[in-house]
Amino acid sequence: MGIEGQDAEIEGAVLQIRKIGNSVGVILPKELLARLRLKEGDKLHIVEQTERGLKLSPYDPHHAKAMEIARKAFRDYADTFKALAK
């Protein structure tokens, strides 16, 4: 199923980095905010994707805690995971 109408405009949008106070930021179109059910003050979770840029998604504190636990396990048991991967 393809992207149609307004969704296609959001998908292909080019955002400009702008000065905001003493920082820089990106202004998200209101249509995108509405689709993601986000409002001013909400948080975004950022994941860097190898060679594909960034993935932004609404911040979920439960997911963030689970990822923190997973990262700790990967650090603590790095040797075990390497052995299992062979």
> Per-residue pLDDT tens for 3-62?
445 555 667 778 899 999 999 998 888 888 888 889 999 998 888 888 878 888 888 888
Between CA 76 and CA 68 the distance in angstroms is 12
Between CA 41 and CA 33 the distance in angstroms is 12
Distances (CA, A) of 76 to 79, 80, 85: 8, 9, 16
Q: Span 65-73, mean pLDDT?
A: 90
Distances (CA, A) of 77 to 31, 40, 67, 72: 43, 39, 15, 8
69 falls in which pLDDT band (50, 70, 90)? very high
